[in-house]
Amino acid sequence: MSAFPTLTSKYSVEEYEEMLAFDPTNRTQMESGHIRTSASCTYVPRAWRVKLSLLSETDKENIRAFEREVKLGSGSFLWVNPITGETHTVRFKDTCKYRMQGSRLFWEVEYTVEEV
């Protein structure tokens, strides 16, 4: 199994969010106006949104190449949570976003992954 690239630069975690990957609630409006709810599944995976900054051009290109290698959300990989240090099997939930910081010396990368 592939693993998220090891970053060579001293990066900074600018933003970090942990959430459920989706809402499993089925809602049905009844004729009386009441709403009936039920769960559509028994397991809801977690998801994380991370924004890294101060990345080198090399690190940005390594992440970009990795994103293509795993074919975005179709391939799973090992990811180390930058805050807790725990390893999870995840997939990309959306495309990575790359932004240049100031000059072309540093990059910011934002991505969201979800448990497999």
Q: Which fold does the domain 12-115 belong to in CATH?
A: Elongation Factor Tu (Ef-tu); domain 3 (2.40.30)
Residue 67: how many CA atoms within 13 Å on its side-chain side? 18
Furthest-apart CA atoms within the chain: distance in Å:
61
Q: What is the pTM of this model?
A: 0.85
pLDDT of the chain along its 116 residues, tens only?
Answer: 899 999 988 899 999 999 999 888 888 898 998 898 888 888 889 999 999 999 999 999 999 999 999 998 899 999 999 999 999 999 999 999 999 998 778 999 999 999 99
Residue 115: how many CA atoms within 13 Å on its side-chain side? 14
Judge whether 113 and 90 are in contact, CB under 8 Å.
Answer: yes
Judge whether 46 and 22 are in contact, CB under 8 Å.
Answer: no
